[in-house]
Amino acid sequence: MVSADGRRTLLTHHRKLDRWLQPGGHADGDGDLRRVALKEAEEETGLAALEVEAEIYDLDRHWIPERKSEPGHWHYDVRYVVRATGDESFVVGEESNDLRWWPIEVVAAEESFDPSLRRMATKWLAVV
């Protein structure tokens, strides 16, 4: 999720995982992953007037530890760039503790962010 000018990214402070991450969710059997990315971005941010780029931006695989009755497993993220093209006022939903627009330079440089977020931010800065 990037701002219209491409200088900021909207991150969610994930309620269950207690860390800043990109908005997203599960495909739940929907094979159109671009549509899923757009739907999840709208649902998790409350933003309208979003556009999703046609090409996959990033792929990530990470281990999800066992939690309650769910065994540990590999999780695969297919990530698209979703751009806000209108009002950038967001709504914090039930899955988030907070939402915040971050300068992409900060995300790339700040070691406390998830390594995959930093990787995507660094990649973005190299092409804009």
Decide if 3 is inside a domain. Answer: no
- 103-107, Cβ contacts within 8 angstroms, sequence gap of 24 or more: 103/7, 103/8, 104/2, 104/6, 104/7, 104/8, 104/9, 107/9, 107/11
Look at residue 37 in the predicted model and tell me its pLDDT.
Answer: 96
Our measurement of the distance from residue 2's CA atom to the centroid of its chain's CA atoms, rounded to an integer in Å, reads 9
* pLDDT above 90 (res 2): yes
Decide if 70 is inside a domain. Answer: yes
**Average pLDDT over the chain, rounded to whole?**
94
Decide if 89 is inside a domain. Answer: yes
Decide if 79 is inside a domain. Answer: yes
Domain tally, the chain: 1
Decide if 111 is inside a domain. Answer: no
Decide if 121 is inside a domain. Answer: no
* pLDDT above 90 (res 73): yes
Decide if 44 is inside a domain. Answer: yes
At residue 10 the predicted structure's pLDDT band, cuts being 50, 70 and 90, is very high
For the segment 24-67, what is each residue's pLDDT rounded down to a tens digit?
988 999 999 999 999 999 999 999 999 999 999 999 998 888 98
Single-letter amino acid code for the residue at 53:
E
Summarize the confidence of residues 57-82 as an average pLDDT: 93
CATH code for the domain in which residue 18 is found: 3.90.79.10
Decide if 71 is inside a domain. Answer: yes
**Residue 62 belongs to domain spanning:** 8-103
Summarize the confidence of residues 87-99 as an average pLDDT: 93
**Dist CA 77 CA 75 (whole Å):** 7
Supply the pTM of this predicted model: 0.91
Look at residue 95 in the predicted model and tell me its pLDDT.
Answer: 85
